[in-house]
């Protein structure tokens, strides 16, 4: 208990940003509105520089856990830095996005458990995957 109270005094830096950089995925690609919304709701919390934090992020060790997830997520793929990737890496990333959504590995179960709106319905999957495939074909 003392430990739990103690760790509450360790603040973590937040992954938050007011501006969307010009290198952002939805800014540079002509992404349909429905796809854009789905990406922002289901992916951007961990794969961009701006997380919509839940209330319980005010508590430790939750904040550490989330920070670690977000750090890893952004290392793998940061939609905000899309144009900084070479074409070769864009194709690689798109391929992984498609695979991960297809196999329902993303969004993570631990994330959708709390964010029910982030779940991909079958239509959502089809819509996002089709868009990602067309984008990938246009780069390849």
Partner 1 sequence: MKTVKRSIATITLATIMVVSVSCKDEKKGAEVTPIEKEMNDTKATSMSASEDVKAEAILSDYFNLKDALVADDNSKAKQSGLLLSKSLQSLDIANYDNKNELKDIIEDANEHAEHISESDIDHQREHFKILSKDLIDMVAVTGTKVTLYEQYCPMYDGGSAWLSTKEEVRNPYYGSQMLTCGKVQREIN
Which residues form the interface with partner 1 (CB under 8 A)? 86-89, 92, 95, 99
Nearer to partner 1, 35 or 106 (CB): 106
Nearer to partner 1, 58 or 88 (CB): 88
Nearer to partner 1, 19 or 87 (CB): 87
Residue 133 near residue 117 (C-beta atoms within 8 A): no
Give the 3-state secondary structure of residue 47.
Answer: helix
Nearer to partner 1, 30 or 86 (CB): 86
CB of 84: closest distance to partner 1 in angstroms? 11
CB of 92: closest distance to partner 1 in angstroms? 5
* DSSP assignments along 27-73, one per residue: HHTT--HHHHHHHHHHTHHHHSS-----GGGGSTTHHHHHHHHHHHH
Q: Tokens 């690689």 label which residue?
A: 92
CB of 96: closest distance to partner 1 in angstroms? 9
* Torsion angle of C-alpha atoms 38, 44, 29, 17, degrees rounded to 10: 130
CB of 139: closest distance to partner 1 in angstroms? 13
Residue partners of 66: CB distance under 8 A and separation at least 6:
51, 53, 57
């Amino acid at each position: 208990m003392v430990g739990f109270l103690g760790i509450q005094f360790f603040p973590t830096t937040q992954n938050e940003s007011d501006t969307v950089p010009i290198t952002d995925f939805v800014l540079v690609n002509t992404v349909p509105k429905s796809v854009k919304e789905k990406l922002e709701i289901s992916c951007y919390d961990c794969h961009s520089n701006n997380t919509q934090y839940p209330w319980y992020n005010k508590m430790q060790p939750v904040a550490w856990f989330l920070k670690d997830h977000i750090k890893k997520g952004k290392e793998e793929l940061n939609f905000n830095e899309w144009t900084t990737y070479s074409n070769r890496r864009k194709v690689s990333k798109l391929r992984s996005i498609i695979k991960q959504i297809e196999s329902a590995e993303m969004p993570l179960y631990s994330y959708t458990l709390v964010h029910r709106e982030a779940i991909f319905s079958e239509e959502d999957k089809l819509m996002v995957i089709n868009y990602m495939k067309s984008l990938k074909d246009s780069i390849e």
